[in-house]
Amino acid sequence: MKYTAIGLLSFVCLAVLSCSKSGNTNPAKTDTTATVPPVAVVSFQPTNYNPSTLDSTGLFNNIPVVNNLARTDLLEISGVAASRINAGILYIHNDSGNSAQVYLTDAAGADKGTLSLITVGNRDWEDIAVGPGPVAGISYVYVADIGDNDSKYSSVFIYRFPEPNLTGKTLPYVANITALDAIELKYPDGARNAETLMVDPLTKDLYIASKESNISKIYVARYPQNTTSATGLSPVVQLYFNKATGGDISPDGTEILLRSNQLFWYWKLPAGTSIFTGLTTQPQIAPYANNEPQGEGVGFAADGSGYYTDTEIKGYPGKLATISFYKRK
């Protein structure tokens, strides 16, 4: 038995040596696994309230005043913002695939004019806002080209131009806008779909709210935003808000609205509270009559008297584009 074991051991050793010299041996495998770049860690301020138990604000009428738009060719309206220098004028626009135009109307839905942004396109305009900008004393229109249903764009853009002064002008007012700033923005955590732009009237910071199922991530681009290279967005807060389609900050910076097609959230900020901090606090539910087939826009009145909403109607036969106004009590 001893001899047999020794012989067997010798045979195994010879076999191993033979294999090591053979040309049939497999070469050592090279690790071809691609190096995966680390995923950026982005931290949002959490909220500590239950969204299903929010109180309702009693500051606004529950039933809006509703008027049809005089123009019947505007089928994909996605935003509304009130002029700060032209009393009663509202700015609205269509979204993706339409002309790069901002339309002027009022609470009655009248056709007040068209502004054509001839140096840029309309990839997917999803919101509009009015607020201060780089020149003191000048009010600016901000158009948000931030829609990205497939989350595929490496950058989004905000187009900024001074409000036209309509004093003494014949209405409907028609003009080409050639002097504008294109503000390129990049998310810190990859491409994202969004339909909400808000301008802080006190700091000139830009806020974007993502449109996602059951959450909305709020980002900020601090002023001054770069107009020659991309500005990085910073995370603010993650809200448990389903599919945000629009938002606005009041002209005095003390109120915030965020909307979907079914729900409105409203924040009334204590004196001295920043927008950044205010968004982390508990909101209230604001009135919505559920009268819009695909409600997308919301904007405070310039005089603080209430807020406006509007709706997309493409794909809803028989529906008319409307402007709704929820008056402050």
pLDDT tens figures, 216-245: 999 999 999 999 999 999 999 999 999 999
Task: Tell me whether the omega of the peptide bond preceding residue 38 falls within 30 degrees of 0, making it cis.
Answer: no
User: Does the pLDDT value for residue 39 go beyond 60?
Assistant: no
How far lies 130's CA from each of 168, 171, 227, 249, in Å? 21, 21, 18, 10
DSSP 8-state symbol, 101: E
* 268 within domain boundaries: yes
19 domain-assigned? no
Please report, for the domain that includes residue 75, its CATH number.
2.120.10
Q: Provide the token pair at 38.
A: 């680390």
- Structural domain of 190: 51-327
Task: Confirm whether 7 is domain-assigned.
Answer: no
Q: Is residue 175 a part of any domain in this protein? A: yes
In a domain, 113, yes or no: yes
pLDDT tens-place string over residues 87-102: 999 999 999 989 999 9
Question: Is the whole model's pTM more than 0.85, yes or no?
Answer: yes
Question: How many structural domains comprise the chain?
Answer: 1
Mean pLDDT in residue range 164-188? 98
Whether 42 maps to a domain, the answer reads: no
pLDDT digits (tens, 9 = 90+) for 72-81: 999 999 999 9
Task: Let me know if residue 26 belongs to a domain.
Answer: no
Whether 32 maps to a domain, the answer reads no
Q: How far is CA 270 from CA 46, 165, 265, in A?
A: 20, 33, 16
